[in-house]
Chains A and B, each alone.
Chain A
Amino acid sequence: MNKRVLMKGNEAICHGAFDAGCWCFFGYPITPQNQVPEYMSLLMPQAGRVFLQAESEVAAINMVYGAAATGVRVMTSSSSPGVSLKQEGISYLAGAELPAVIVNVMRGGPGLGNIAPAQSDYFQATRGGGHGDYRTLVLAPSSVQEVYDLTRDAFDLAEKYRNPVLVLADALLGQMMEPVTITREPLDPPTPGASSTCGTRTGERTIVNSLYIVPEDLEAVNQRLADKYARMCRDEERWEERIPANPDCLIAVYGSAARICQTAVELLAERGISAGIFRPITLYPFPYAPLRALSERVPRIIVVEMSAGQFVEDVRLAVEGHCPIGFFGRTGGVVPTPEEVVDAVLKQLGDETRG
């Protein structure tokens, strides 16, 4: 306890899941998350838990469905193209209200793309991703410590809401090593609860299903889901803000890009520019209200993301036109340097002064 351990983000995913009492892991290899199944193949059998390398991503997510139905804690992980393949299964999990954790170590896209860090699966992650009216709770770590903490929290949130929870990391967070301090005692895998399928021992039938032929029945399910998502929005928003007294601008950013912007803020300070940072930790629910409040205190918001512009749309929804919003993005697996962010901010502030 409380010992600092140097580990990769991908290892931190495994420790977070293991310490949350994850009983089953189903995976399929894809770079840059390969250390997750590799490490789980060591960790899980040692403790008598289940590691299974499935024949495909689709098989893995359906194994997750089956295991979740029995009430055990379960996780799968993949990277962008593999997570696309899992979307049908995630929709079924949401429809059947099964708790599960899905990790996406994002890489460049679209298509096969490449194996470098990207944040271009934001829409997929925050808008459901598969078919139907559903949402997954989305957690976005920005350090290896947070990868551990949020993966662990993901299991509690999944059970609390009986809903799939997504941990959205990227190739940079997956591959880099940082010190992690584990302060919480590891949990033993919990005993499956009453809502799980456990045969007919109790005499009660538990039905796990997402098929509702009668439209009115399905509408009632959708209403129940909508109410649940509303509760998530009310209770689960997480964000971090660092706002100086009289900011010249606010940088809105999440995940590993936030780390780069943190250095950019220091460089900007050396040039006499005072910039704040707003970093959502939950991407769904998105902390709209806190950002809306900040937009009245800052002259301008600049959005930085490793995508052509996805996260920026939620910032616009939050701000509702109350202040100008600039954008700086790199794509294709290119990670911006702090200096590039500084240049982008200076340019946008310059544009503003010129009016």
Chain B
Amino acid sequence: MSHEDIATHTSLHHEVIIAGFGGQGVLKMGQTLAEAAMMEGRDVVWTPAYGPEMRGGPAFCTVIISSRPIGSPVVAQADSAIVMDRLSLQKYQGSVRSGGRIVLNSSLVDPELVRRDIARCAVRANHLAEDIGDARIANMVLLGAFLRMTGLVQPATIIQALRQALPERRQHLIPLNERALACGADAAEMLLPTAV
């Protein structure tokens, strides 16, 4: 769905699962997505899984983006998932509805493991992140691919949200984030014709 489609869409309701392990920027990616969607006038809910977790343990959150007030904050059947590691794929692909989409980090996950009734977009996020200069930006590469696939939020709004969220001493990272989003979008672009 392109941005033009979104603009003409009067009713939108999208539930996404974001999963990986601690340190990959899973929760931050979800918050940035929710923040940007809110800035575009949507109703949003961000819900984390939390527990007695340790550094490097599983990380998980859900984001609901809607054109109308959101009822249940709990996602049972997601429209899509962004998956950053293999364990998360095993754990959460069952929670994506048939016909939904998965954007996955093929640096760490074999795309062949994805259910056949889900459209998949495999992006070598860790490799691409290193190519553009920082392995830690893999989350934004995947988010760029996700936005290219779903058109849920304008990448420019993501950057605007980051500008607001980042402290002064981190503002120099904005161009890197822009490159990461664009790089992910390009990777998804190449996959689009064969994505289903």
Interface flag for B175 (CB, 8 Å): no
Q: Which of chain B's residues has its CB closest to A171's CB?
A: B50
* Residue of A4, A6, A256, A263 with most partner-chain B CB within 10 A: A6
Query: A130 at the A/B interface (Cβ < 8 Å)?
Result: no
Q: Does B74 count as interface, using CB distance less than 8 angstroms?
A: yes
* Contact stretch, chosen from B41-49, B123-131, B141-149: B41-49
Residues of A within 8 A of B48 (CB): 175-176
| Bound complex: CA A262 to CA B72 (Å) | 7
Residues on A with beta carbons closer than 8 Å to the beta carbon of B51: 115
Q: A interface, by DSSP: helix, strand, loop or mixed?
A: helix
- Cβ of A221 < 8 Å from any Cβ of B? no
Docked complex Cα distance between A284 and B72 (Å) = 25
Q: Is A349 an interface residue (CB 8 A)?
A: no
CA gap between A338 and B44 in the complex, in Å: 18
Residues of chain A lying within 8 A (CB to CB) of residue B50: 31-32, 115, 175
Could you mark each residue 9-45 of chain A with 1 if its beta carbon is under 8 Å from any beta carbon of chain B, else 0? 0000000000000000000000110000000000000
The chain A residue sitting closest to B68, CB to CB, is A266
Residues of chain A contacted by B31 (CB below 8 angstroms): 6, 177
Bound: A325/B2 CA distance, A:
48
A262 touches B44 (CB 8 A): no
| B71:A263 contact, CB within 8 angstroms | yes
Cβ contact within 8 Å between A266 and B71 = yes
Within 8 Å by CB of A259, from B44, B46, B72, B76, lies B72
CB <8 Å contact, A260 and B72? yes
Which residues 24-53 of B sit at the A interface, judged by CB distance below 8 A?
31, 34-35, 38, 43-48, 50-52
Contacts of A6 in B (CB 8 A): 31, 34-35, 38, 44, 46
Pair A256/B35 contact, Cβ less than 8 Å: no
A6-B44, A177-B45, A259-B71 given. 4 additional CB < 8 A pairs? A115-B50, A175-B48, A178-B70, A264-B72
Chain B residues in the interface with A (C-beta under 8 A): 31, 34-35, 38, 43-48, 50-52, 70-74, 76
16 residue pairs from A and B, CB less than 8 Å apart: A4-B38, A31-B52, A115-B50, A115-B52, A176-B47, A176-B73, A177-B31, A177-B47, A178-B73, A179-B44, A259-B70, A259-B73, A260-B72, A263-B72, A264-B71, A337-B76
